[in-house]
Homo-oligomer: A and B are copies of this chain.
Amino acid sequence: MTGAPQPSLVFWFEFASPYSYLAAFRIEAAAKAASIDHVWQPFLLGPIFAHRGFADSPFNLDTRRGDYMWRDIERLCARDDIGWRRPAVFPRSGLLAARVATAVMSEPWGRAFCRAVFRANFAEDRDITAAATIGEILRELGQQPDVILARAAAPDTKEALRVATADAEALGVFGAPTFQVGSELFWGQDRLVDAVAWAARGKTP
C-alpha cells in the first residue's frame, strides 16, 4: 500500500503572522476557482526565526520594514474587504492556537476555527494566547472547550506540531505564509495566485 496521495497545495501558516491572516481569508476562493485541493498546515515561525538569528519578529527588529508592513496590511485588507484592527500586542504567540489547530485540523470545522483565531488577533485585537479566548472561539463553533483544549495539550499533539515545524524548516520554509506545491515553495500572501497556478498546471513532481 502506498502513502496517501499528496495534496496539490499545502498552506503553511502561523497565527502570529499578519500576512498569514490575509492568506487564510483568500485561499479557499483561489483554490476553488482553480479546482485544486489543498490542506492547511499550522506551524511555528518562532523556532525557525531563532535559527535565522531573530530574537523577535523581523517587523519589530526593523522598524522601517515594520512600519511599511502595517500600512501594507491595512491597504490589502481594505482592497480585499477583510476586517482589520492593528493588534495592541505584536506578535502574539500562536503556540496555543497552533496546538488546537493541529488537533482539530481534520475536523469539518477546523478551518473555521483557524479563521476565527486569525480574526480575533487581527480584526478584534483579542488575546489569542489566552485559553479563555480560544475557549470562546471553540464554544462559538459548538465545541466543548475543555475537551478540545485537553486534546491540544496532549503529548501527541505537541509532538505533531514540533514535527510540522521541523518539516517546514527542512523544506526551506523561512516565513509565513508559505504555499508548497510539491517541492516548490511560494512565500507571501501575494504569491498565492502563482502557487495556485503552479498547482493547476500539475507541475508537482
Contacts and interface: CB of A to CB of B under 8 A. Distances in A.
A124 interface: no
Copies of the polypeptide in the assembly: 2
A71 B62 CA distance: 25
A139 interface: no
B64 A172 contact: yes
Given A52-B62, A62-B52, A174-B62, A68 B185 contact: yes
A188 interface: yes
A195 to B, nearest CB: 10
A191 B194 contact: no
A67 interface: yes
A21 to B, nearest CB: 17
A174 B64 CA distance: 7
B67 A172 contact: yes
Interface in A82-137: none
> Chain A, interface size: which category?
20 to 34
A72 B185 CA distance: 8
Contacts of A174: 62, 64-65, 68
A61 to B, nearest CB: 9
A68 B190 contact: no
Nearest to A173: B64
Contacts of A64: 52, 172, 174
A198 B71 CA distance: 14
Nearest to A185: B68
Residue of A67, A68, A76, A198 ringed by the most chain B CB atoms within 10 A? A68
Contacts of A71: 184-185
A60 to B, nearest CB: 14
A191 B69 CA distance: 13
Nearest to A51: B64
